[in-house]
Structures are given as structure tokens and as C-alpha cells.
Structure 1
Amino acid sequence: MKPIRAVLALACGLVGLTQATGQTGGDGVDHALLIQKWDAQSLARGEKLYTAVCITCHGTPEKVGTLPTSRAFWKDAFKNGNDPFSLYKTIGQGTNQMPPQLWMTPEQRYDVVQFLRESFLKKYNPAQYFAVTPEYLASLPKATNGVFQKTAEMLDYERGPKYLRMDFGPAMFWTYQVETNNFAYKGIAIRVDKGPGGISKGRAWMMFDHDTMRWAAAWTGDKFIDWVGIALNGSHETHASIVGTKSFVNPVGPGWANPATGRFDDSRVIGVDKKPYGPLPRSWAHYKGLYRSGDDCVVSYTVGDAEVLESAGLETSSGVAVFSRTLDIGKSSHDLLARLSLETVPTFLVGQSGAKIIRENGMNLLQIPASSTPLKIKVILGDPGVGIDPGVVYGFAVSSQPATDLQSRIKLAAPHSQPIQTQGRMGTNNGAFAVDEITVPTEEQMPSRSWMRLGGFDFFKDGKSAAVCTWNGDVWLVKGINKTLGKLTWQRIASGLFQPLGLKIVNDKVYVACRDQIVRLQDFNGDGDADFLENFNNDHQVTEHFHEFAAGLQTDRDGNFYYAKCACHGRTAVVPQHGTVLKVSPDGLKTDIVAHGFRSMNGMFVDDDGTCIVTDQEGHWTPKNRINWVRPGKFYGNMWAYDHPESGADSEMEQPIVWIENKIDRSPGEMVRVPKGSWGALQGSLLNISYGMGQIFVVPYEKAGDSMQGGVVALPLPLFPTGIMRGRFHPKDRQLYTCGLFGWAGNRTADGGFFRVRGTGKPSYMPIEIHAKTNGVQLRFTDALDSTSAQDVKSYTVSTWAIKRSAKYGSSQTNKKTLNVKSARLVSDRKTVFLELPEIQPTQCMEIKISIRGADGVLIDRKIQNTIHSL
């Protein structure tokens, strides 16, 4: 069976996707025959599919899924029928938080249905086990057109996983498990056998850990890694592991002794689990970046005051392979000591130098006197294989070419990638807004076959070009951004980065927010391609947990950078950075925690005055999605984040601007403010870009004592095809640009996209102010309203409810009320309506449904969901 690609991890939710119908009947499918063909083989296929796709969110009787609100088949009743054909339709169409599995063939759907029936219903939930009779089979829809036609999604699935089709380049930054209890949290895996196709098509690799400056492992085989993980095959609670034959493995810890002490004692941050995390102190060792030099990769770092360049290599002879390390070490004021390998691994120096290999505490160590620096040196090492005399490694060392000049090599440019042309699509100007598409290249157009799930973007000073990053590690240069979008070019300028989900351009330099670092791209020869992936800051504390994304990248007017670091999912925090907003100094030398207690923030916004605003996602200790006005040093409610208060009382946390129900916005993304001179009366408004719904919301708010309170209301726009989540207003045309992706738990399932939202100048009739009064709510709209409908109390429905914050995932609605709208008054500006609500009280959740007309007679249907902390 083919591996399930990440986009198929869809069981984590889809609400209201009306365009996906799936196959139901009369479509060339003989439903009765597929059910009659059930046997042990189809049951096994169904189990594999459930384990690969459905188990992530639904779980099993023994283990709760990562989305506990998903249906537990072993105890819950079905809402849309429990017979096989009804379950088949549910899989194909999607319902509630279950998305349409359009990639599944009819046979695969019925395989899963059989597994659910036999493994869960029959044993644990017999009331839901439907008896299949001859009469039932005869009642099923007949295949009327004779031939079943596979969907585009089915055909795409048959091509294999997108992560295996993609060329990641020769190096891939990721978290890798090397062995049990041995992780390279900031691993840089480098392909050392030359050839096309990138790292996944290699047969030999070495891995550098830029937290510790150790070479964690070297290995060979016909498979690079196991390809599990949230951004690869979509699985939750998993992480990637290397596979194949390991030639050497080094234990967790510093790769170089502290030059000041000569000792390897690890002084990094100790997590709750008593393990060390994050980088070594800069005075000890510091990773500077990775050069893409021709077809090679060269790592740059420091040890004490010594500059070090290093490249990994492979040497083969008569079917035997060993690995090499080539080092160019600058002048050091201290003696240096490096860990090379376990003493059981054959390890030798090439040629003569002032350095030597010594054995100490079970390790082969490279000893370099300060007086011998600077020097160039080469090491040959690795287990040559079972049944092969380890002495052959010494033979390699004797015959190997001496250390190459890495100073010269890093002057070579990265391979140039050719631009790809696309044609933009202009939207219609029928309403207040038009949506244009900055069309991404198709897989067939890209030699890299990149998975175009866009995680962030920004514009260069000329306004005609932008840089865009993708979740699977690319950075693309996009040119031709103008009024008509007639001719766009896309050039891949970097690859292999660690799940970048934010990008910022400062002084025309591209900064990329990755899980392991903020990377600054350096192009030395002006061809657009990044020749040096410079580490601007890697203070990040990275664990193997799948959920700890580093999302968004913004700057304030003082030049500080900001990003959001997610907490763990379904478990307590391990490191101080879990569930925090982080601030990095303009020179990249310092990282501070701004605020803590968050769960899963998808990007962030920094206002002109330096105020940070972040969204957060429903989950444990987060009863619903929310938008947070960040106050430095404050706690924001997630008791499973790091450094939480003793009490879980609501009074101990900063309250959000608004709590948002899933049906309104199931997964908010990044915020952005409409700048002065843009979008008419909406200028100055705060916008929420929704990943979960593929929508954009206006966020009217007001100050309420020491807090902010407000709501969300959707802009009158068509739904985007993907989960948009980043937004910036263009510096020249003053329109909103947005990009996004689909990973899981979203309504809009296209891989990704890049769009422009243009204000047309036509009325939008948007509520842009909301004020909670002691006797009602005052709403101000962008445009004049019809006085008759605006003052008719039947035009409004107002309801409230409560939610409960607890360790339970999410919250149901309690204390539901419909408030009496005693009167509705349109004030003299004809844009402001006051709703008199005698029963109004502070509430976590209020919904105001509006159906009125504009002054020009246009019907206006709006729905506001808001929070009131005080009146």
C-alpha cells in the first residue's frame, strides 16, 4: 500500500464544505457488489487506511485521538446513518468535522466501513452495527452509467506521496530521531552521494546538529528517513527517524569541548523532562549558517573565537563506503577538543598535522593545540560494514586526497534555478471586494515538484516582487506583481528549511521563520538564489513534539523581530518557550519571552505602537478559538504551557478580545490592520485572516477597563480555496495580499495559494465599531443604512452563551439565552445603530444576527460574534 500523503490527514475536520459531493450512487459504482466482496483482505486494507488517516483524530478505544471532538466509533451514535451506504456517503461527502475523502476510491471507502463495523461497532458498539440483508443490498443505488470515473484526487493519490515526489535539495533541516533517546533536534541532514533528485533520492547521508555542533550520525540505504510527521505524511504525535545502515552514531551532547574549560559538560537549558535543549552558549560554540557551494554544502560555525568551516563527504571503493569530515579551522586562542565517534568506530586522520586523535571516556576525540591553528584537516570514519575488516578504513585514510580548501569552495555560487512563468487571474469587480490570484506553478512546471503550501510572504522595496516560503522548506522569489498580474515568474531561491511559517523582508533581505531558527538569505552573486542560509537567530528550544510550530514573523519600529512558538498538544510543556510570544533583538543576539500561556498560535501581528496581537486555537485549557491583545509578562490561560500560575481560575489569565465559536471561525490565523488610505471607511480596521474557514473577518473592538473586548464579522468575499493565514498590505497599491495552505483541521483543502484582495470602492456595509453599553449595543457601519429596516427590531437576533475553560478539549455551550431586542435606533449619521437590550450582561459569547438594507436598498446579512467583559 502506498504511504498516505500529508494532505490526506483530513480526519481532523471540515465543516460545511458544500462543493465536495463525492460519489453516492448512479455513478458507475456497484455498491452491493463491493459490500458482498468483503473478506479478510479488504478488512486488512481498511485497517491500514484507518491507521494511516483516521486514527490521528478519531483514535482508538485504547487511545483518544488528537481531536477529541471527533466521533468515537466504539461508543458514539452516528448522525447520518449507520448502514454501510450511509457511512460510504459520509466518507465521500464529509460531515461536521469530518472532511470529504475525495482521494479514496469506492472500494477503499467500503474497506474502511468494513473495518469500522467489524473492529469497533460489532465488539464495542453493537447498537450501531447494521445488519446487511439481501433486501438491503437490493435497495442500494445501481450503477447507471456503467463505468466509474476516478476523480482528480484519486489519480493524484495514485502518483504517490507529494513529499516523495518533491526535491528538497541536497540538505534538509528537520528534527530527526537517530536512535532511542537520541534526537538531533536541529538536524541538518546532508546528502553525500552525488546525484539528481535531492536528499530523498540519495543513498548516503550525514547529519549535523546545529544546537550542539555534533555530527549526530552517518548512514546508508535505499531510504532516507521513515517520512512520518505532521508536515510529511500528516501523522500526529510522530516524528521523523533515520532508517538504513548506520555507519556511526554520536551520543547527545556538545560536539566540541568548551574552549574555556576543555570539558564537555552540557550547560544548555534543561527541560521538564531533565533533558538539555536549545543551542550551546555563543561563547562556547555558535552555528553561523550553511553555504550552498556548487553541488556541495559547507557548514559554518565557531568554537570559542575560532572560525570553522566543515563539509561532509563519502568515499567508496570496491563496494565499501566510509565517511569523511573536512575542516577548515581558523586561529584559536585555546586548545580545541572535538568528539569524532565512539571508540569502536574506526576513525583516522588524513595526512600529517599538529592535530591528533586520542581516546577518552569511550570516544575518539580530535585534539588540536591552539599553536597548530589555523589548519585544514580531514577525518575518515565509519563502520565499513558487517564482515569487512575495520582496517580498510585506515586504507581509505592513507589513499584519500588531503583536505580541500573550503574557503575557496564557499565562494562558489549555489546552483541557479530557472524562473517559471505563470499567468495571474483577475477577479470580478461585482462587489465591494475583488479577489485576484497570484497563480502558483503547477507540479508539472517545477523541476523540484515542490509541495506549494505557502506559509508566509513579504514584498521587496520595488513593490513588484515578493518572497514566499512553503511549509516544506522552500523560499520562492515572485516577480511581476502589478495591476494586471499578466506575467508572473517564480524562482525557487532556497530549499530544505525546517517548516517555515513566517517571512519578513528588512532592507531587501529575506528573513525566514523556521522551527529551528530565523534564517537570513544571502545572495552573493545577484542571481536571486541563496548562496548562504545564514543563522540570524537560533535561540529556539526545539523538541520532537509535532505541534510546536514557530509561526509568523513581524518587526516593530525599533527593528525587533517577533514570532509565536506553539505549546505541545495534549501534554504539558517541556521548555520555557512552549506557548509563548518571542521577541528577537534587531541584531539577532537576544531572545526574550514577551508573554506566555498560549496553546497553538498561527502567526502574529505587531501594530505600529508595538502592540502584539495573536490568535489561538481551541483545545485543552482553551475552550474556544480566540484573539488576544498581548500584554508583556502576562499569562494567557493554557495551564499546560510553561510557567503557569498555581490556580486554573479564569481570573488568573488575561482575557481575549473575543472568544470565537468553531462555526464562525474554526481556526483563526494572522491579524493585519488596514492602513490609512486603503479600503475607504475600513481603513484602520483590524482583520483576522482565517485558516479554518478560508475567510477574512473584520475585528471591531473597544477598550474595556484593563482589557480589550470586541468581535468578528466576515467580509463579503467568496471563500478562498485554501486555508489563508498570512496577510500584508502592499506598500504601493495599498491592497491586501494573503497566502495560506491546508495541512489539517480546515474547511478549505487546496494545497495552498497566493491572493490579492482589492477594494473596489463599492459599499461594503461592514460593522466596524461595537460598543457595549449598560442598556444595549451600539454598532457603526461603513455605509449609510435604510432607516426602516435598520430600526425594525425583527431585523436583529441577539443570543448569548457561556463556555468553560478546563483541561478538557474545547467546551460546549451552556446557559444559552436569546435576548429581547426592545428597540433599534438609527442615529443621525445613518451609519450607527443602537440596539436596546434590557437583559444585557457581560458574557463570554454573544451573537448578533443582522438582516437589514443599505440606503441604496441592498440586502445586508451580517453575523457578529463578540465578547463583553464589562459594560
Structure 2
Amino acid sequence: MVIRVLILALLACALPADRLRAGEEEYYRLIDVSVAKAATDSRSKNWKPAPDGLALEVGGLAFLDDSRLAVAIRKGEVWILDGVYDDPPNNVTYKKFAGALHEPLGLLYHNGDLYTTQRSELTRLRDVDGDDVADEYLTAAKGWGVTGHYHEYAYGPKLDGDGNLWITLNIGLGLKAEQLDRVVPDAALGYRQGRWRGWGMKMTSAGELVPVCAGMRSPSGLGANAAGDMFYTDQQGNWVATNSLHHMRPGVFFHHAEALASMNEPGSTISGVDKVPSGLPLPQALEQFKALRPPAVWFPYKKMGQSTTDIMLDESGGAFGPFAGQLFIGEFTQAGVNRVFLEKVDGEYQGACFPFRLGFASAVLRMTQGADGSMFVGLTNRGWSSLGRASYGLQRLVWTGKTPFEIKEMRAMPDGFELTYTLPVDPATAGDVNSYQMSSYTYLYHATYGSDEIQTKTPSIVAAEVSEDRMRVRLRIEGLRPLFVHELNASGVRDAIGQPLLHSEAYYTLNRIPPKQLD
């Protein structure tokens, strides 16, 4: 216990001071639905435990048609909760739906049934007689390798715009000798992994399991954007400079080289890789390694979290505030949620990430949106430490109806960026170039764990032009660099009544500079 308290204290010290600011609760209020009290927490009035000592270590969330919430837990069970919308939720009921699963880390309600990904298969759970207990456990898809290594997590499923069910598979780390007889035989480039480890796969509407893309380390979050395209998040580690968001599509390789162990397997969409560079800045690695693709968004380490998790699309049409159509990304270590704006430039996704909400009771692992637009958040820090007062549980994040002053969007332009705000700006401060600071940097692509920010420069902001409606500012910048993160701080900007931004930081991953448009 002393060690755990020390770890959490160190984590708190590691957080940038300006991310611990007050005020977020004024706009987005947290409600405990079922939160386990941490042993170090004396605030028992906030303790809303599940019945009979049930450890609600949430691995998956899915709403049923009747507004009840299905919850998968790490113990290998699925429970159905009713009353989760009540405020306060004093009468939540729990019904065990399924058990004996192997660490389900995802849940989807699809065509009247629940689907979950276990370690070794995608499982369809059917309630045939309508008594809220699963009668059939059907194998919907299988075919990936499992050696028994602890790190071989499997996540999903999530549904894309074409009706495919997607899953993502962790890499096994440092396989032991007794596990090597279960890896891909004659693995490519000498890498040793179970079949399809580090790959994203989809089950088509015809029931076929198809490998799509590779290079994942710990892809614990996946989800579709408003266009129906599928994305996943990865976590810093070997080959992975910092946390990241990637667009999954056929034949694309992301970063973790050991996923190439399955390159020569039947059905692989990647071929011909004979060498993996290491120790190069990312732009140079991309030039040498043609299969490699950069993430759509980098999350600078500690500034934007330490371990990205789930992806939730805001489909509320405004019921969850001013960010409809954007993605929300779970954060494990810092017990928070961040926000992402995406755009397509020359046919490829890129965009910006922004801080959104800290202060959850434990590590954020799963998120789903309720019918009223509120966000339901599944928590568990099992195996790793996180900030927060609890070890696991379920919380609900509700928009209070008050609009925060935020940078809503950050779009790339041929000569800078265009910022869109949630509220009208004060033209004097928003039009002053001294209200903004910017730096740009990239990362090393290498087999080592993580990367520092490298090749840092300070682009020059030469103009800040406020639109007539005061909702947009065009920043004209000298020194933009493709394939670099452009970190912006707009701390000097004020709204029409003189209030500062709730979060002044934005981090744009500028993979491509838009071409100049002809008049």
C-alpha cells in the first residue's frame, strides 16, 4: 500500500501544473454510478459499490435497446445494469448475463446480441429465451495466435460504417523459451510472435475474419469516426515514440516491427519488407521504410497523457456540448479524457488533440455515449497505477449546458492554421500574435522504449487575423514543417467578456501541409 501511494504521488508530481486547473467541473459534471472506494480514500459518502463485492473492473460497455447498460469486466463476466441514468443513481440494479469468459476487453450490442473479444476468439452471446442470461456462447471469429504471454490482450469489437466488426491484437513482449513453439513458424525478419499479433483485423458481414493492417503495440482503443472509418490508439513503448491515433486501412504498417512476424502468412496485406530502420527521426524513417505510415495524431507524452485507451465519437448532435462529430480519447494513467479534431489533407487524416477532462475516479479504459448524449466511463487500474481515488468503477460525465471557452478546431492551412473557437473572441487579444506561442518537434523511430521530443524549433507567428464573426482566427506562420507536431499555446486569448481559455493548449500533427489554392 505504501508503494502504491508513493507511485500515485509521483504521478501527480509528473503532471504539468496547468493541467490540474480547476473549472472543468463547471462545464462537465461527474456522477458516480458505481465506484469502488480506494483503500486510501476516507470519503465513504462517494462509495457506491456493486452488490456482493462485485469488482466492476470495466473492460467493455454497450447499451441495449431498452437503455440498460451491459458491462464486461476483467474477471470474465458480463453484467446488465439498469437505472444508470438516475441522478443520483441510488437504485442501480445488477443482473449477471454471462460468465467464464477469458478477459473480455470490449463489448458491442449488434443485431440483438452482445459480442465480446476474448483472448482467443470473438464471441457472440445470445439470450434465446429472454431471461437476461446468455444461453449460447458462439464463436463468431477466431484464428489469431495465443502463446500464453500476459501481454497478448485482444480488444473489441467495434463497428465501422460498412458493417464490419473490428478487433485489435497486442504484441507479446519478450516471449519465453516455452512459448516459442506457439509462434508463427519461419517468422519474417527473425521476429517471433504468435500469429497476427500486433495486427488489426475485421470480421466482414459475411463472417470472414480478414487481417487488415499491422504494427500495433498495445492498441487498447478502437472506434469509428463520423465517416465510418476505423481508428485505433496505441501506447508508448518499444518502437512507439509516444501515444498515438491511427487510421486503420488495408496494407498499412504503423510502427511496432515485431508485427511483421506474420508478414508472410496467407492473407497478409503487407509484403516485401526486408529491412526495418531504427534510430532515425520519423521523417527520415518514413523515407527509408515505404510501408511505414505516420499516425493521424501524436499525443505528446505527459502533456497529453501517458497511456491512451478507448475512442468515443460524439454522435449527440450537441447534447454533449459544442464538440459534436469529434473523437474523445480515454487516458489511463492520468485518469482523464482528451479530445481530437480530425481532417483530411490530400486524402490522409491528420489533426489536433486537446485536453478535455481530468479527475475521474480511476483509470479510464472504456467509454460509450448514452441516449441523452452523456458519456459513460468504465474504470479499472488493475495491473498498473493511475491517478484517482478508486481502483475501478463506472462514472457518467454530463454536460451542464454551459459552453466552455475552448479552441474547438485547429485546421491546417498552406501558410499556418485556422482556429475555430466555441465562443466569440475578444479581437484585441485574439488578433495579437503575442497571445500565441508555438513550437514544433518530431520523434525518433527506434526499437527503444519511447522517444524524447527532438529537432525542436520555434515557428514564427507573423499574423493573427480575426474573422468578422469573431469565431475564427487565422494564424499565419513561417517555418511549418511536415511530419512534425506543432504545439500551440493560446494563453493570451480572451473571449468577449475577458475570460481565458479553459484549455489553451493544442497539438497538431502536421503530416502534410495543404497545397495553396489557385485563385
TM-score bracket relative to the smaller structure: 0.7 to 0.9
1:468 aligns with 2:71: yes
Among 164, 168, 173, the residue aligned to 1:564: 168
1:478 aligns with 2:81: yes
Q: Secondary structure at the match of 2:439?
A: strand
Q: 2: CA distance between counterparts of 1:9 and 1:641?
A: 33
Equivalent of residue 536 in structure 1, options 112, 116, 140: 140
**CA offsets per residue over residues 786-807 of structure 1, 9 Å max, x none?**
2222122232221112211011
Change (3 A) 1:486 1:9: closer
Q: Is residue 274 of structure 2 the alignment partner of residue 656 of structure 1?
A: no
Letter in 2 for 1:436: I
CA–CA separation in structure 1 for the residues paired with 2:471 and 2:246 = 28
Deviation track 1:704-725 (CA, whole Å, cap 9, x = no partner) reads 224222121012x342121113
Indicate the residue corresponding to 1:699 in structure 2. 340
Alignment of 1:493-642 (within 5 A): 493-570=97-174, 572-586=191-205, 589-607=207-225, 609-642=227-260
**Equivalent pair of 2:375/2:397 in contact (CA under 8 Å):** yes
Of the three residues 24, 27, 33, the one matched with 1:438 is: 33
Q: 3-state DSSP class of the match of 1:811?
A: coil
CA offsets 1:104-134 (integer angstroms, 9 cap, x no match): xxxxxxxxxxxxxxxxxxxxxxxxxxxxxxx
1:32-43 residue pairs with structure 2 within 5 A?
Answer: none
Secondary structure of 1:699 counterpart:
strand
What does 1:148-167 correspond to in 2, within 5 Å?
none
1:758 alignment partner, one of 398, 402, 422: 398
Letter in 1 for 2:70: A
Match for 2:467 among 827, 840, 851?
827
Higher relative contact order (Cα pairs below 8 Å, separated by 6+ residues): 2
Q: 1:767 to 1:582 in 2, by over 3 A?
A: same
What is the alpha-carbon distance in structure 2 between the residues aligned to residue 9 and residue 563 of structure 1?
32
Partner of 1:284: none
Cα-to-partner distance string for 1:425-471 (whole Å, 9 max, x where unaligned): xxx996222222222577997676343211111101011x1110111
Percent of counterpart pairs with the same letter? Answer: 26
Q: In structure 2, which of residues 416, 426, 450 is the aligned counterpart of residue 786 of structure 1? A: 426
For residues 704-853 of structure 1, what are the structure 2 equivalents within 5 Å? 704-715=345-356, 717-730=357-370, 732-745=371-384, 747-748=386-387, 750-851=390-491, 852-853=493-494
| 1:741-767 alpha-carbon deviations (Å, 9 max, x no partner) | 113455325322222222222122232
Once residues 595 and 14 of structure 1 are traced to their aligned partners in structure 2, the CA distance between those partners, rounded to angstroms, is 36
Residue type matched to 1:510 in 2? L
1:797 partner letter = Q
Structure 1 counterpart SS, 2:445: coil
The count of aligned residue pairs is 455
1:868 aligned partner: 510
- Alpha-carbon offset, residue 666 of structure 1: 1.0
Distance in 2, matches of 1:15 and 1:656, equals 32
CA distance in 2, matches of 1:568, 1:504: 25
1:500 Cα offset (Å)? 0.8
Q: Structure 1 CA distance, aligned partners of 2:73 and 2:3?
A: 18
The change in CA–CA distance for 1:554 and 1:512 in structure 2 (over 3 A counts) is: same
RMSD, aligned α-carbons:
2.9
8 Å Cα contact 1:16/1:747 also seen in 2: no
Q: Distance in 1 between matches of 2:423 and 2:308?
A: 27
Rg larger in structure: 1
8 Å CA contact retained: 1:549, 1:566: yes
CA distance in 2, matches of 1:633, 1:809: 25
Are the aligned partners of 1:637 and 1:650 in contact in 2 as well (CA < 8 Å)?
A: no
Which residue number corresponds to residue 685 of structure 1? 326
- Tell me the residue number matched to 1:646: 274
State the distance in 2 between where 1:766 and 1:469 align: 34
* TM-aligned CA deviation for residue 494 of structure 1: 2.4
Structure 2 letter corresponding to 1:646: D
1:226-245 equivalences under 5 Å are none
* 1:718/1:635 CA distance change after superposition, 3 Å: closer
**Separation in 2, partners of 1:604, 1:542:** 21
Matched position secondary structure for 1:681 = coil
- Whole-Å separation in 2 of the counterparts to 1:736 and 1:451: 21
Closer, same or farther in 2 for the Cα pair 1:796/1:607, shift >3 Å? Answer: closer
* Alpha-carbon contact 1:438-1:754 (below 8 Å) kept: yes
1:517 alignment partner AA: E
Q: Distance in 2 between matches of 1:548 and 1:779?
A: 41
Residue 223 of structure 2 aligns with an amino acid whose one-letter code is F
**1:602–1:615 contact (8 Å) kept in structure 2:** yes
| Kept in 2: contact 1:701–1:711 (CA 8 A) | yes
Retained in 1: the 8 A contact 2:32–2:395?
yes
Is the CA contact 1:699–1:768 (under 8 Å) kept in the aligned structure 2?
no
Q: Distance in 1 between matches of 2:4 and 2:350?
A: 35
Which runs of no fewer than 5 residues in structure 1 stay unpaired?
19-94, 98-427
For structure 2, the 5+ residue unaligned runs are 16-22, 38-46, 176-190, 264-269, 277-284, 514-519
- In structure 2, distance between residues paired with 1:635 and 1:718: 32
Match of residue 449, structure 1, among 48, 53, 57: 53
1:552 is paired with a residue of what secondary structure? strand
Which residue identity does 2:512 align to in structure 1? Answer: S
Per the TM alignment, residue 676 of structure 1 is displaced from its structure 2 partner at its CA by 4.9
Separation in structure 2 between the aligned mates of residue 8 and residue 615 of structure 1, nearest angstrom: 29
- What is the alpha-carbon distance in structure 1 between the residues aligned to residue 9 and residue 433 of structure 2? 31
CA contact (8 A) 1:658 1:709 kept: yes
Deviation at 1:610, TM superposition (A): 3.5
2:458 counterpart SS class: strand
Q: Structure 2-normalised TM-score?
A: 0.80
Counterpart AA for 1:479: D
Please state whether the residue corresponding to 1:789 is helix, strand or coil. Answer: helix
* TM-score, with length taken from structure 1: 0.49
Q: Distance in 2 between matches of 1:677 and 1:580?
A: 33
Alignment pair present for 1:669 and 2:309:
yes
User: Closer, same or farther in 2 for the Cα pair 1:800/1:513, shift >3 Å?
Assistant: same
Q: Is the 8 A contact 1:825 1:833 kept in 2?
A: yes
Q: Is the 8 A contact 1:685 1:768 kept in 2?
A: no
Alignment of 1:191-202 (within 5 A): none
Deviation at 1:840, TM superposition (A): 2.2
CA shift digits 1:784-842 (9 cap, x unpaired)? 11222212223222111221101111112222223333332221121211223222222
Partner secondary structure for residue 486 of structure 2 = strand
2-structure distance, mates of 1:764, 1:823 = 26
How far, CA to CA, are the matches of 2:344 and 2:136 in structure 1? 46
Describe the SS at the equivalent of 2:349. Answer: strand
The residue aligned with 2:178 is none
In 2, are the aligned partners of 1:581 and 1:594 still within 8 Å (CA)? yes
